């Protein structure tokens, strides 16, 4: 009977789990909430989900391990460290803490567990199965609840000495800018994530008196999808929100190119569905922030994998 791997993509809102064959076929998937405050409760939910998926695919193979992609995950010691967007990974005082996820999930499931940063997992999936297949130098940027990144150099993920290399979402793009959940100010994540775009919308609505479809929505409830829907209907203020976002993201991409000289940058995540409104400004800003040796030479690619698949496939590949 064939060997199977469990791939898990942990996000701030939900956790996606899948059973994967060695050739990259996802046999079965499930999605559970990440919006749980207690780690033991979340762990029990995750373990039950793994066991349920294992039962459903019992006739097709035997699971030999679990690979996990998660924010601030450290492949060296199996921990999640100070992840600002994971409610269940906070200490008794409500501050981001250290959680020994790999060891606890191994204990709960009986399967060997390996973990890595969620964006690293997505990069592995894209390199093996997606638009970055055959590209050995690229940067993966995930634009979701937060902003994550994975750096592939010479065909290998860059981890650094402690396993945390590539936290590009927390590079400062605006001096003394918006407060980030990580404790710093002006991080890219506070501007180019889904939450960041919503923050931009609230700021624009306060300082700009023009009519906008967004004024029909409670400012505190505005989502990036609301802004996309308004832009798609021709709302000029909504369009300008995306232009602003694209400009900041593009400048940051220009900085990222300078230190790793990638052949391509791959963008992935829910916010990329709005790319028709920010792509051109992003590319323009990136090239304006590049030395001549790189201008107009860096490919901007968008993930060809289903949003839930790239990280699941990448995470599961750690098992083999």
The structural domains of the chain, with segments of one domain joined by +, span 3-124+308-317, 134-303
What confidence tens digit (pLDDT) does each residue in 102-124 have?
999 999 999 999 999 988 998 98
Q: What is the pLDDT of residue 140?
A: 96
Q: What is the pLDDT of residue 296?
A: 96
Is the pLDDT score of 320 beyond 90?
no
Residue with tokens 């995540």: 269
Residue-wise burial string across 72-90, b where 16 or more C-beta atoms lie within 10 A, e elsewhere: bbbbeebbbbbbbbbbbbb
Q: How many CB atoms lie within 10 A of CB 206?
A: 9
Q: How confident is the model at residue 308 (pLDDT cuts 50, 70, 90)?
A: low
Angle between helices 236-260 and 194-207 (to 10 degrees): 130
In the predicted model, what is the mean pLDDT of residues 159-179?
94
- What value does the mean pLDDT of the chain take? 95
Query: Counting beta carbons within 10 angstroms of the beta carbon of residue 267, is it exposed (0 to 12), middle (13 to 18) or buried (19 or more)?
Result: buried
Q: How confident is the model at residue 128 (pLDDT cuts 50, 70, 90)?
A: confident
Q: Number of C-alpha atoms within 13 angstroms, CB side, residue 296? A: 1
Is the pLDDT score of 292 beyond 70?
yes
- The three-class DSSP label of residue 1 is coil
Q: What is the pLDDT of residue 8?
A: 97
Backbone angles phi, psi at 224, to 5 degrees: -60, -30
Instruction: Name the CATH superfamily, with its identifier, for domain 134-303.
Output: ATPase, nucleotide binding domain (3.30.420.40)
In the predicted model, what is the mean pLDDT of residues 63-77?
94
Range from 43-57, 155-169, 252-266 carrying the lowest mean pLDDT: 155-169
Q: How confident is the model at residue 309 (pLDDT cuts 50, 70, 90)?
A: confident
- Do 3-124+308-317 and 134-303 show the same overall fold? yes
Is the pLDDT score of 71 beyond 90?
no
In the predicted model, what is the mean pLDDT of residues 201-208?
96
Q: What is the pLDDT of residue 85?
A: 83
Residue with tokens 């600002």: 84
Reported pTM: 0.85
Which residue in 87, 122, 98 sits closest to 16, CA to CA?
Answer: 122
- Long-range contacts (CB closer than 8 Å, 24 or more residues apart) made by 303-308: 303/122, 303/126, 303/130, 303/131, 303/266, 303/267, 303/268, 303/272, 304/130, 304/131, 305/125, 305/126, 305/129, 305/130, 305/268, 307/268, 307/269, 307/270, 308/9, 308/16, 308/18, 308/29, 308/31
Instruction: Name the CATH superfamily, with its identifier, for domain 3-124+308-317.
Output: ATPase, nucleotide binding domain (3.30.420.40)
Q: What is the pLDDT of residue 11?
A: 87
Is the pLDDT score of 307 beyond 80?
no
Q: What gap in Å lies between CA 170 and CA 185, rounded to an integer?
A: 9
Q: Do residues 302 and 15 make contact, with C-beta atoms less than 8 angstroms apart?
A: no
High-pLDDT (> 90) share of the chain, %: 85
Q: How confident is the model at residue 297 (pLDDT cuts 50, 70, 90)?
A: very high
Is the pLDDT score of 289 beyond 80?
yes
DSSP 295: T
Interacting residues of 57 by C-beta distance below 8 A, sequence separation 6+: 4, 19, 27, 28, 63
Q: How confident is the model at residue 304 (pLDDT cuts 50, 70, 90)?
A: confident
């Amino acid at each position: 009977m064939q060997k199977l791997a469990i791939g898990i993509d942990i996000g701030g809102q939900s956790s996606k789990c899948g059973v994967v064959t060695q050739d990259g076929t996802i046999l079965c998937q499930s999605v559970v909430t990440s919006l749980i405050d207690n780690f033991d409760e979340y762990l029990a939910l995750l373990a039950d989900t793994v066991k349920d998926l294992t039962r459903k695919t019992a006739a097709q193979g035997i699971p030999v391990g679990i690979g996990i992609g998660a924010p601030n995950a450290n492949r060296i010691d199996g921990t999640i460290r100070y992840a600002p967007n994971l409610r269940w990974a906070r200490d008794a005082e409500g501050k981001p803490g250290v959680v020994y996820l790999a060891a606890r999930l191994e204990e709960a499931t009986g399967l060997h567990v390996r973990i890595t940063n969620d964006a690293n997992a997505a990069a592995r999936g894209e390199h093996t199965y997606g638009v970055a297949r055959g590209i050995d130098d690229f940067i993966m940027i995930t634009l979701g609840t937060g902003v994550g990144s994975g750096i592939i150099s010479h065909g290998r993920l860059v981890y650094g000495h402690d396993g945390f290399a590539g936290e590009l979402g927390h590079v400062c793009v605006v001096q003394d800018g918006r407060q980030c959940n990580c404790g710093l100010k002006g991080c890219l994540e506070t501007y180019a994530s889904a939450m960041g775009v919503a923050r931009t919308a609230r700021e624009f609505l306060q300082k700009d008196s023009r009519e906008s479809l967004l004024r029909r929505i409670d400012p505190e409830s505005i989502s990036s999808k609301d802004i996309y829907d308004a832009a798609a209907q021709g709302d000029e203020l909504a369009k300008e929100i995306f232009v602003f976002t694209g400009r900041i993201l593009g400048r940051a991409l220009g900085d990222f190119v300078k230190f790793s000289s990638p052949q391509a940058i791959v963008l992935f995540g829910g916010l990329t569905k709005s790319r028709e409104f920010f792509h051109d400004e992003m590319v323009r800003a990136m090239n304006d922030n590049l030395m001549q040796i790189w201008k107009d030479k860096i490919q901007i690619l968008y993930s060809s994998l289903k949003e839930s698949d790239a990280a699941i496939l990448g995470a599961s590949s750690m098992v083999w």
